[in-house]
Structure 1
Amino acid sequence: MARLFGTDGVRGLANAEITAPFALRLGEAAARVLTGKNISHRPRAIIGRDTRQSSGMLSHALAAGLASAGVDVEHVREIPTPGVAYLTAEEDYDLGVVISASHNPFQDNGIKFINGDGFKLDDAIEDEIEALLGKDWDRPTGAGVGAISESAAVSDRLYMDHLIDCGRDLHGLRIALDCANGAASDVAPRVFQKLGADVVVINAAPDGKNINDSCGSTHPGQLQALTVATGADFGFAFDGDADRCLAVDHAGNLVDGDQIMGMLAVAMKREGQLKRNTLVLTVMSNLGLHLAMRDRGIKTVSTKVGDRYVLEEMLAHGYNLGGEQSGHVINLDRATTGDGTLTAVSVASEVAKQGRKLAEMVEFVQRLPQTLINVPNVDKTKTEYVEREVAQAEAELGETGRVLLRASGTEPLIRVMVEAQTQEEADRIARSLADTVREKLSL
C-alpha cells in the first residue's frame, strides 16, 4: 500500500480524497502522537490555510480533530506556509498545520504538519500518525477537550514584521508581483510597500476558485508581460501557498530558482555568510548551475527532489542555503522552510545593494537547454520498466547532458527531464522517452 504522506504532506481532490472526516481523523491521530511525546504542558497548535474554497472546511475539521484529543488550536486564516512555520517556532506552538495544495489547481487540497521548531515533520513521525489513523481510542472529556480560537491580526503582523526586518530600503525600485490569487495576496504587496518599493500587483484578488489559475510561478507569462508593460525593474511570481517564487528581469526574461540560488550563493560567499561554502540542490537543478558554482569556488551537493530532502541535507551537515529549480529557496539563517516572499525580498535587497540590473546579476548561470515533460495517467511505481530506454538516451548524450526520470511526489504523473547541448536534441530525446513511458506504463 502506498504511503499516505508524499514529499509535501497529504494531497488529493478536496471533498473526494481529502474530506472533512479524513481531516478530522488526521487531526486526532496527529494530536495523539503529539500528546504521547511526554510534553509537560497542554499542547498548542496553530493552523493556517491558503485561499482555496475547500480550505476553510478542512481547517475547521482538522481543528476539531486536534481539539478532540486535548490540543488547544489557534486559526490564522489565509497565510503563506512559511508564515505558519515561522509562527510555530517563534510563538512556541507544539505543532503547526497548513491546509494547502501549493501549486496544484483549486480543486485539490492538502494537509501538512510542522513541528515545534518550525520544520516539516520527519518521515518517522508522519508514519506514526498514519499508523494511528482511524484507530479506536479513549477521547478526553470535560476540561480535557481542547479550545479553538482565532488570532489572525497579531500573527499576520508578526510574520510581516519578520519579512521586513530581512530586507533593506527599496525606494527607487518598481517591482511587479504576481500573487497567484493565493496566500501571498495580502502579505507580499504590503511587505514590499513597507520597504519603499513602487509595487505593481496582479492576481491578488482570491475568490476561492482562482488560485494558481493561469497565473503565479507555474504560469509566469502574465508577470513577464506586466513587468515589461509597466517598466518595472523586475518582478516576482509566487505559488498558491507562497513557499516558492520565480523572478522576471526588466526585459521579461524568466529567472528560475537555479539562477536565484546562484545569485544568492555568490552574494553570501562574498559576505562570508555561506556556511561550508556549499549550495544544496536537487537532481533537477540544471548542470549549468553546477558549472557556474564550480567556477566561483562554491561546492554543490545534490539530493533527491523535494525541499524536505534539501532541508535534511542542510541540517545534517551544517549548510545554510539550498533549494529547488522550481523556486523553493531555503535560507536557514532566516527561515526553517522555503519562503517565496523572503526569497523575493532577498533578491530585491541584493539588487538594491549592488545597484545593478537583475539580468546582469544572474547572467553567469548559463543554463544548458532543458526539456521537462509531465506524463499523467501512468503507473509511477514501475519506472524500472523503461530503464533500458533511459540508458540508451544517457549513452547518446554522453557527458554533454543527462536524463532524469522520476515519479512526482505530489501528483499522479511521471516527470521526464532531459538536458543536452542543444534545445532540439533535448526536445527530441524527451519526447521519445515520454512516448515510451505512455506506451509501457499507461494505466
Structure 2
Amino acid sequence: MQLFGTDGIRGKVEITNISNEDALSYYLEKRILTPTLMRLIGEAVAIELINRHENLNPKVVIGWDNRPDNIHLTKALTQGLAIQGCDVHWAGEIATPGLHYCVLKSGYEGGLMVTASHNPAHDSGLKVFDELGFKTYPERENEISNIVMNLVSEDRELDEEYLDKLSKPSTVFDGSIKYQNGLKNRLESIQEMWDIKLEDAIGLEVIPSNGLLLDSSKGANVDWLSSWFSSNGLTSIEQSSECLQINLNCGAGNFSPTDKWSWDDLESEHVLLNSIKQNLQNIDRSKSGQIIAAALDGDADRCLLFEILEDGTGIGIVDGDRIADDILQAGILREPQKDWTLAASIESDLSLTSSLKRLSENIEDLETAVGDRWLSLALCKQAIPAFIQSNEFPGLIGCEDSGHIVLPILSSQNKWGLVGDGAMTLISTILARSVLKSLDVNNKFTSGWKLRKSVKEVDRKLWDGNNELSVQIHDLAEEWFTNYSNCTKLSNVNINGSKSLLLLQGTVEKLPFSLGIRNSGTEAKISVSLRLSPGCKELISKDPSELVEILCKHLSRNM
C-alpha cells in the first residue's frame, strides 16, 4: 500500500466523520481525503519521527495554503501528531518554500505542508519535510504508509473531547514574516554576488518601464508578494487578488512549458492572459525577450515567465529549462572559476544539457526522475539527503521545464540546503537577465522538439514500466523509428526514483532522442513524453507526434 505520489499526498477533500477503515479505503479507491485519514497520517509521521530521532517529543511545524477545508485537515493532522507525543507548532497560511524556511531556520525535526500545489481548490494533500528541509523519499513514504495500515488494523477508540483538546497547537506564529525576511536575505546575497540589483531591470529593459504583471495563483503569497517586490526594487502588479479561489483561472498550473500566443490570441478566462490583453497598449512589441509577466503555482514552489517572442508576434513561456540556462549563464559570467552542477529531469529539453560546453567546460550535468526532490537528491551527490558544505554559494541548480528550479539556501554557517521557491526563481531570473543585458551577452541554447501527452481515466496498476504492456510500448516505438528513420534499436535506461518509468533512448544519425512513459503520481492518468535534439525531427520521414498518438491510443485501449 502506498499513500504518496510524485510529490506528496493529494486527494479530493470530504469533511465527514468516518471510521479508520473507510477513510483509508476512500483514499486508496477514490482518492478522497478526509480528516480521519489526515489524523492517521499525523500519527504515522509522529511514530516514524520518534523512531528515527529516538526523541519521544519531536518538534513539528505545520503550514497550509488557503484552500477552504485546510483548517479541518490541519486540526486533524495536529491531533494525530499530538496523540503520539509531538510538540506541534503552526506557521499559519504560508507558501511551501516558506514552510521549508521555517524548518531550516528554527530547529524542527519535521515540517508538514497542507497543500495540493496546482490542483483545484476542492483538493488538498500533504508534503512532508525532514529536519534538513528535504521532502520524503520512497523508503520513508513506505514506512509512513505501513504505519497507517497498522494503525487502521488496531482496535481502539478515541474520545472526541480528548481529540478536540489535541487539535490545538502549542505555539502559533506568523511563518510568512519569517519567510519574507529570509527571501530578503537571499535577494541581498545574490545581488552582491552578481553586482546587480532588481531595480536595474527596468533601465536594462529586462521588464517594461511600468513593471511586471504578477500572478500568485491566489495562493498564500497573494497579499504581500507584489508589494514586497516593489519595495525591493522590482515594480510588480498582482493580478490574482480578485480571483474566486486558489488556482481557479490563475497561476502557473494552467500553462504548458511550450505555450505561445499571438497578440490576437490572448482571449482567455485566465486572469494573467486577460490582463496582458488589457495591457497591450503599454507593451512595446519590438522589445523581443522582454519579460512582461510571471506566474507562480498554488503553493508557490515554481514559476513560469512570459516574454515577448523574438519575432515580436506575441508572447511565449519562459520555462524551467530556459530559466536554469539564464541563471547558469549569469553565474558563470560573474564567477568564471566556479564549478557548476546542473540537474535536469527526464522531461527537460535535451539540448539544455547536451550544449553546456557553450558556457563552460566546468559544468557537470545529471539526469533525474520527475519531481524536485530528485533534483535535490542528485545535487547532494549522496545516497541520502544531506547539507552541502561550502564556504561560498555552491554552484548547484536543478530544473524541470514545469518551472521547478532548485537552488541552494544557507542553513547555518557553511551549511547549505536546497529548495524550490517560485519567488526566488523569479528574483534569480530577473537578476540573471539583467547581468546578461548589462554585458550584452545571451548565449542561449537552441531548443529541440518535444511533445508530452497524457491518457486519462486509466488503471495505473496495469503499468509498471517492466510488464508486458511496457514491452509492447517498447516494441511499437522501436518499430516506428525503424520504419521512419535510420534508428533500429532503443535502449532502456534506469533512473533513480521512477519505478513506473519506461525511459527509451536512441539516436538518429548521432542526434539523440528520448521517449518516456510514466504513471501520474496521484491521478488516474499516464503520460507519454517524446524529446528530440535539434535537427533530429528533420531526419525522420514522418511527424513524430504520430508516434505519441499511436502510443497513447495503445495505452488507452489496454489500461
Fold conserved (TM > 0.5)?
A: yes
Range 56-65 or range 291-300, more displaced: 291-300
What residue ranges of structure 1 are gaps of 5+ in the alignment? none
Matching residue's letter, 2:475: R
Secondary structure of the structure 2 residue equivalent to 1:438: helix
Match of 1:325 in 2: 401
Match of 1:375 in 2: 455
Secondary structure of the structure 2 residue equivalent to 1:52: coil
Q: For residues 68-147 of structure 1, what are the structure 2 equivalents within 5 Å?
A: 68-133=83-148, 134-135=150-151, 136=154
Match of 1:188 in 2: 225
Give the conservation status (yes or no) of the 8 Å contact 1:72–1:146: no
Against the structure 1 CA distance between its residues 129 and 344, is the aligned structure 2 distance closer, same or farther, given a 3 Å change threshold?
same
CA shift digits 1:364-406 (9 cap, x unpaired): 2222121111111123342514222132344446424332212
Structure 2 CA distance for aligned equivalents of residues 284 and 374 of structure 1: 13
Structure 2 CA distance for aligned equivalents of residues 248 and 427 of structure 1: 25
Matching residue's letter, 2:172: S
Structure 2 CA distance for aligned equivalents of residues 296 and 204 of structure 1: 40
Give the conservation status (yes or no) of the 8 Å contact 2:436–2:442: no
Structure 2 CA distance for aligned equivalents of residues 289 and 274 of structure 1: 21
Against the structure 1 CA distance between its residues 440 and 363, is the aligned structure 2 distance closer, same or farther, given a 3 Å change threshold?
farther
Instruction: Report how far residue 128 of structure 1 moved.
Output: 1.9
Structure 2 residue corresponding to 1:427, chosen from 539, 545, 556: 545
Instruction: Report how far residue 11 of structure 1 moved.
Output: 1.4
Give the conservation status (yes or no) of the 8 Å contact 1:79–1:184: yes
Structure 2 CA distance for aligned equivalents of residues 361 and 5 of structure 1: 44
Match of 2:371 in 1: 306
Q: Which structure has the larger Rg over C-alpha atoms?
A: 2
Against the structure 1 CA distance between its residues 152 and 363, is the aligned structure 2 distance closer, same or farther, given a 3 Å change threshold?
farther
Report the identity percentage: 27
Give the conservation status (yes or no) of the 8 Å contact 1:375–1:413: yes
Secondary structure of the structure 1 residue equivalent to 2:217: coil
Q: For residues 315-354 of structure 1, what are the structure 2 equivalents within 5 Å?
A: 315-316=380-381, 320-333=396-409, 336-354=418-436
Against the structure 1 CA distance between its residues 152 and 353, is the aligned structure 2 distance closer, same or farther, given a 3 Å change threshold?
farther
| 2:502 equivalent to 1:437 | no
Against the structure 1 CA distance between its residues 331 and 65, is the aligned structure 2 distance closer, same or farther, given a 3 Å change threshold?
same
Instruction: Report how far residue 71 of structure 1 moved.
Output: 1.3
Cα RMSD over matched residues? 3.0
Structure 2 CA distance for aligned equivalents of residues 245 and 314 of structure 1: 20
Q: For residues 20-419 of structure 1, what are the structure 2 equivalents within 5 Å?
A: 20-39=35-54, 42-133=57-148, 134-135=150-151, 136=154, 148-149=169-170, 151-153=172-174, 155-167=175-187, 168=191, 169-171=197-199, 172=202, 173=207, 174-205=211-242, 207=244, 210-220=245-255, 222=270, 223=272, 226-227=275-276, 229=280, 230-231=282-283, 233-251=291-309, 252-272=315-335, 276-297=339-360, 298-316=363-381, 320-333=396-409, 336-355=418-437, 364-380=444-460, 381-382=462-463, 383-384=469-470, 385-395=472-482, 396=484, 398=487, 399=507, 400=511, 401-419=513-531
Secondary structure of the structure 1 residue equivalent to 2:222: helix
Give the conservation status (yes or no) of the 8 Å contact 1:70–1:145: no
Match of 2:11 in 1: 12
Instruction: Report how far residue 147 of structure 1 moved.
Output: 5.8
Structure 1 CA distance for aligned equivalents of residues 338 and 140 of structure 2: 29
Give the conservation status (yes or no) of the 8 Å contact 1:9–1:113: yes
Instruction: Report how far residue 324 of structure 1 moved.
Output: 1.0
Against the structure 1 CA distance between its residues 427 and 184, is the aligned structure 2 distance closer, same or farther, given a 3 Å change threshold?
farther
Against the structure 1 CA distance between its residues 67 and 273, is the aligned structure 2 distance closer, same or farther, given a 3 Å change threshold?
farther
Range 185-194 or range 108-117, more displaced: 185-194
Matching residue's letter, 2:306: V
Structure 2 CA distance for aligned equivalents of residues 344 and 137 of structure 1: 51
Structure 2 CA distance for aligned equivalents of residues 52 and 29 of structure 1: 24
Structure 1 CA distance for aligned equivalents of residues 336 and 52 of structure 2: 36
CA shift digits 1:320-372 (9 cap, x unpaired): 21121111111124553211111111112223344469xx9777222212111
Instruction: Report how far residue 413 of structure 1 moved.
Output: 0.9
Instruction: Report how far residue 150 of structure 1 moved.
Output: 5.4
Instruction: Report how far residue 250 of structure 1 moved.
Output: 4.0
Give the conservation status (yes or no) of the 8 Å contact 2:79–2:166: no
Give the conservation status (yes or no) of the 8 Å contact 1:394–1:402: no
Give the conservation status (yes or no) of the 8 Å contact 1:71–1:145: no
Structure 2 CA distance for aligned equivalents of residues 265 and 122 of structure 1: 27
Instruction: Report how far residue 131 of structure 1 moved.
Output: 1.7
Give the conservation status (yes or no) of the 8 Å contact 1:44–1:72: yes
Aligned residue pairs total 434
CA shift digits 1:241-277 (9 cap, x unpaired): 1111111114522100011011112222333389743
What residue ranges of structure 2 are gaps of 5+ in the alignment? 15-25, 27-31, 192-196, 256-265, 284-289, 310-314, 383-387, 389-394, 411-416, 464-468, 488-506
Structure 1 CA distance for aligned equivalents of residues 438 and 107 of structure 2: 40
TM-score, normalised to structure 2, is: 0.71
